[in-house]
Structure 1
Amino acid sequence: MDKPAHVFDRMQEWAGLSAFVVREQPRAALGVVSGRRRQGKSFLLEALARESGGLYFGATEATEAESLRLFSDALVRHTKAVPEHPFRDWNDAISYVFRQYRDRPTAVVIDEFPFLARASPALPSIVQRELGPGGSGQGSLARLLLCGSTMSVMGSLLSGQAPLRGRAGLEMIVQPFSYREAAQFWGITDPRLALLVHMVVGGTPAYREEFVAGDAPDGLADFDAWVLRTVLNRQSPLFREARYLLAEESAIRDPAIYHSVLAAIATGNTVNGAIANYTGRKPDQIVHPLNVLEDCALIAKEPDLFRSGRARYRITEPLVTFYEAIMRRHWAELERGRNHTVWEATRPTFDKQVAGPHFEAICREFAASAEADVYGDVPAEVGSGVVSDPAGRSQIEIDVVVLAAQESNAPRRILSLGEAKWGEVMGHGHVRKLERARDLLTAKGYDTTATVFACYSSAGFTVELRAEERGDLVLVGLDQLYSGGERAGDSAG
């Protein structure tokens, strides 16, 4: 099926969904589609159902009896056939669906599936039974797609001992747009402005179309005014969105501790001990909140690539970081309409606690998708790491570490060591720091014979560094972030 023109990007997702629907398989098939709210899952699946002549049913919070009536009504409208008897329960409904679609492969989309599963806990087991031997799914050409935004629920459907484990022929997580895709979606061609906007709203499609009605900043000079009229505007839907993201997750029972954990991470306390100190809890008392936030895809645990067992936490939703770092502590003032005062006072905080860490994460994203000619080989693992310097009694933090694939009976090859600076012109001092880290890692047994030093900066590089003629240095400025990186001497930075 051709992707409709009104669906922006999502080429891989559309290809996967299309292939799932039209596959030749003489029995019903199950697909699970998940992703955080506002990513366009429903928009995508509605388009799929429309293009394929399938059924789309969006569940609501309701009792089992009402949900069954609504589902039956949707089936009647689509099939033009009335069930002989009203559905008594989901046993009747699922078997009826599979029996109805036997002529051609047909998409049957059940959106917001967690609403149904909450009211009818046996529903996943019923689907599993009907898909199995002797079930009504045998001989059916229905392509059942279960979709939902409650990540903790959707993630458990196919895990462990869950009834549907091993039954799905498709498992898809609809992610936010990448920073490059987001720039195109917002229609922003200035890389600095595109990155600033991404630091606030990330790559969530709904924030542009539904929440700010297409209001994009008109150039760099308009960015501050755009922040004031959108995310810091108490009359804008974007104003309370970060709070709602937590409230919508059923696994979060006590929002206070979760907000405190997120605030800790947003203000630079990214390891377990520091988060515990910030929240006033013991380290073992925050393990559960961290696990829940990770299951909800609101934070990610990123291992230190040079220290086994060490990890840092990062908030995955930029709007949540912006809320925790900028808005939460000034909430009373913002609700009184004093957004100009708050933004003026917190602009330095934005640069330090929002822009800086976000820029580092974007640089790692750039490195992970880089072609082999940027670092000399295809990156296998990208992250950050800390290198101990005993002689200097210090620790060297490496913002962007690029590793090659592990080869048997050979030391791990470090493709690149990188430093990322938001708002700081980079020079030879930054390279010397990376060289020192390289020497220490060589002594630890890493293969650094072809390690490339990478400087990532939004403010540019010194004239001396730009003129450096060496094959082991990559300069990545904002233009390169949005177009690709090159070796020093070939790049203007």
Structure 2
Amino acid sequence: MIGRKQELALLEKLYSSPSFQFLIMYGRRRVGKTTILQKFAQSHDCIFFPAQEKNDVLNLEDFSQTVQEHYTGDYLAPFPNWEKALAFIEKQSRNDKRTVLIIDEFPFLASQNPSIKSIFQHAIDHSWQNKNIFLILCGSSVSFMINEVMGYKSPLYGRITAHLEVKPFDYLESAEFFPNYSQEEKLLAYGILGGIPRYLKAFNPYQDITGNIAEHILSENAYLHDEPQLLLRMELREPGIYNSILEAIANGANRISTISDRIHEDRSKCTKYLQVLQNIRLVKKIIPCGQPKTSKKGIYVIADHYYRFWYRYTFSQKNYYFLLGEEKAAQEIMDGISDYMGPVFEEICTEYLWRRAKAHTLPFIPAVIGKWWGTNPLLKQQDDIDILALDKTETEGIFCECKYRNRPMPMEEYDDLVQATAAFPKVTKKHLIFFSKGGYTQPVIERAQREGAQLMSISNLF
């Protein structure tokens, strides 16, 4: 199993506790929640119930069968109600043996029976909290799990002992899916597919990137071909408007005003729909690094790399690629992939800095890391910094420039970053880091040596 050591370690820690434990696990679809739970269940005696989109009666029947067969090896008849089912589990629990109940896709149960949360709350309050029980409720509807299960208005509020959001892999974990790829190919695969395990598995690790795009994305029979559309239909009622917003963002519209103008919808309506896309982890709002969260300078980006790729190419160019043919279309995409990979490369370098920060190998512990844009008083015009990291006092900073180009980075890029640091006069101790796919010109190398700047290549990321 690739990655997920921290997630499994948390499950083991809660399992080893002598007291009642109640974990809420959530994360967007395809991120690998069920795989983690199945891996955990392989080494423990668990009641594992995957809820389905059925009515309450049928789900109760399935749950009854799962529970009875777990304890007795036989299924007699469904419990008359959920209260009796949970009471049966409580009676079977033992002080000398951990009882583990895992319910996957809990929102499917709650949508058909809104009282199910109160039923669990009653069981916990009146008996389970004093038993050797480990309860796990898991769900892909992130907003439901956060607001309806963990929220203060939920009957379960205050009973939960731990929660875990399963997030996509970063670039380094994703690279493990492609052991035979070059480092550049590993970054490309991550830039196209993102960190969703199910998407990473869809590519053939023995096939080149161009061939994978043609066969596993552009082919109408491929799993990835319509995956974003299918997921949107599962999650949302009006996929048409969401499609328009995602296509607009993928093609460069990143502010409410430009998104609204691009899709010809009211700004307030766009704001509402964007909030939903943020709730399901498909879109994120970025604020200039160091600015308060209430800043009005925020921009929107597609959080999932595959959705960013799909809406930029497959969705926007569908008819054209159909006429062009899969292989030629894939080659055309690859011919211009550097432009697409520019912002992705910045995010990869940001993930690298986070890893170094956690390992305490940066010059200081950053309070914030992210992209910055704003007015540079030295230039008296708008400026930006690809990655900025500031310490807690904002007197020490790391300033980064990221270039995903085949040619060596020239001195002009070095000068641009030095000038950009002038926007932070409070920062008296400045560290410069450059990331360049194509290397550096000799003058840049010599200057970096004199001034103590770090020159990073793709190999340094691994």
Given the alignment, which residue of 140, 147, 151 partners 2:131? 140
Q: Which residue of 2 aligns with 1:426?
A: 409
Given the alignment, which residue of 462, 465, 468 partners 2:441? 462
2:365 and 2:77 mapped to 1: Cα distance? 59
In the alignment, does 2:93 pair up with 1:101?
yes
Q: Which residue of 2 aligns with 1:117?
A: 110
In the alignment, does 2:347 pair up with 1:368?
no
**Residue-pair matches, total:** 454
Going from structure 1 to structure 2, the CA distance change for 1:107 and 1:413 (only over 3 Å counts) comes to farther
Report how far residue 110 of structure 1 moved: 0.5
Q: Which residue of 2 aligns with 1:235?
A: 221
Report how far residue 476 of structure 1 moved: 1.8
The structure with higher relative contact order (CA 8 Å, sep 6+) is: 2
> Secondary structure of the residue that 1:237 maps to in structure 2?
coil
Report how far residue 85 of structure 1 moved: 7.3
Going from structure 1 to structure 2, the CA distance change for 1:414 and 1:283 (only over 3 Å counts) comes to farther
Given the alignment, which residue of 445, 468, 476 partners 2:456? 476
Report how far residue 379 of structure 1 moved: 2.2
Q: Which residue of 1 aligns with 2:167?
A: 175
Q: Which residue of 2 aligns with 1:256?
A: 240
Q: Which residue of 2 aligns with 1:166?
A: 158
Report how far residue 333 of structure 1 moved: 4.5
1:396 and 1:375 mapped to 2: Cα distance? 25
Please tell me whether the aligned partners of residues 181 and 205 of structure 2 are also in contact (alpha carbons under 8 angstroms): no
In the alignment, does 2:306 pair up with 1:319?
yes
Report how far residue 375 of structure 1 moved: 4.2
Q: Which residue of 2 aligns with 1:150?
A: 141
Q: TM-score, normalised by structure 1?
A: 0.86
Q: Which residue of 2 aligns with 1:128?
A: 121
1:338 and 1:189 mapped to 2: Cα distance? 26
Counterparts of residues 446-457 of structure 1 (less than 5 Å): 446=426, 448-457=427-436
Alpha-carbon RMSD across the aligned residues, in angstroms, is: 2.2
Going from structure 1 to structure 2, the CA distance change for 1:13 and 1:374 (only over 3 Å counts) comes to closer
Task: Kindly provide the amino acid, as one letter, of the partner of residue 278 in structure 2.
Answer: E
Report how far residue 55 of structure 1 moved: 1.2
Q: Which residue of 2 aligns with 1:489?
A: none
In the alignment, does 2:15 pair up with 1:16?
no
Runs of 4+ in 1 over 6 A off after TM superposition: 81-85
Deviations 1:396-422 (A, max 9, x none): 1111011112x4xxxx23421111111
Q: Which residue of 2 aligns with 1:389?
A: 376
2:100 and 2:354 mapped to 1: Cα distance? 34
The range that moved more, 393-402 or 108-117, is: 393-402
Task: Kindly provide the amino acid, as one letter, of the partner of residue 454 in structure 2.
Answer: V
2:380 and 2:158 mapped to 1: Cα distance? 52
1:368 and 1:190 mapped to 2: Cα distance? 23
Report how far residue 155 of structure 1 moved: 2.1
Q: Which residue of 2 aligns with 1:4?
A: none
> Secondary structure of the residue that 1:107 maps to in structure 2?
strand
Q: Which residue of 1 aligns with 2:267?
A: 283
1:119 and 1:161 mapped to 2: Cα distance? 19
In the alignment, does 2:349 pair up with 1:358?
no
Task: Kindly provide the amino acid, as one letter, of the partner of residue 230 in structure 1.
Answer: H
2:132 and 2:74 mapped to 1: Cα distance? 20
Going from structure 1 to structure 2, the CA distance change for 1:373 and 1:119 (only over 3 Å counts) comes to closer
Report how far residue 384 of structure 1 moved: 0.8
Q: Which residue of 2 aligns with 1:270?
A: 254
1:413 and 1:276 mapped to 2: Cα distance? 39
Report how far residue 192 of structure 1 moved: 0.4
Deviations 1:271-290 (A, max 9, x none): 22222222222332211111
Q: Which residue of 1 aligns with 2:62?
A: 70
Report how far residue 65 of structure 1 moved: 0.5
Please tell me whether the aligned partners of residues 376 and 423 of structure 2 are also in contact (alpha carbons under 8 angstroms): yes
Report how far residue 82 of structure 1 moved: 6.8
Given the alignment, which residue of 199, 216, 222 partners 2:205? 216
Going from structure 1 to structure 2, the CA distance change for 1:83 and 1:243 (only over 3 Å counts) comes to closer
2:250 and 2:68 mapped to 1: Cα distance? 49
Please tell me whether the aligned partners of residues 364 and 391 of structure 2 are also in contact (alpha carbons under 8 angstroms): yes
Report how far residue 316 of structure 1 moved: 1.7
> Secondary structure of the residue that 1:155 maps to in structure 2?
helix
1:373 and 1:474 mapped to 2: Cα distance? 17
